[in-house]
């Protein structure tokens, strides 16, 4: 993931597939700065999917990603500046 290119628009699989779907992770970090519950809420959302925060395009569920990996990725996303 790191080293995949511009982290500005890095969004795991869509980027891998050369698409441009979902919010830039830096924007996500900015939106939830100072929100103590964000890591847990976002980890749950990555697992089950959801829509409506950044637009009407849904994030699909990502059940193939291990819970501890989701938490690590979301933790990293929230550190981006």
Q: Are 22 and 40 in contact (CB under 8 A)?
A: no
Q: How far is the CB of 34 from ligand HEM (least distance, A)?
A: 15
45 Cβ partners below 8 Å, 6+ apart?
Answer: 59
Per-residue binding string, ligand HEM, 32-61, x by CB under 6 A, is: ----------x--xx---xxxxxx-xxxx-
CA 75 – CA 38 distance, rounded (Å): 9
Give me the residues that bind ligand HEM (CB under 6 A), please.
Answer: 12-14, 21-23, 28, 42, 45-46, 50-55, 57-60, 62, 65, 73-74, 77
């Amino acid at each position: 993931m790191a080293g995949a290119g511009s982290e500005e628009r890095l969004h795991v699989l869509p980027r891998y597939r050369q698409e441009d779907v979902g919010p830039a992770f830096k924007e996500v970090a900015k939106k939830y700065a100072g929100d103590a519950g964000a890591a847990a809420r976002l980890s749950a959302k990555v697992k089950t999917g959801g829509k409506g925060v950044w637009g009407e395009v849904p994030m699909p569920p990502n059940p193939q990603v291990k819970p501890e990996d989701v938490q690590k990725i979301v933790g990293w996303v929230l550190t981006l500046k």
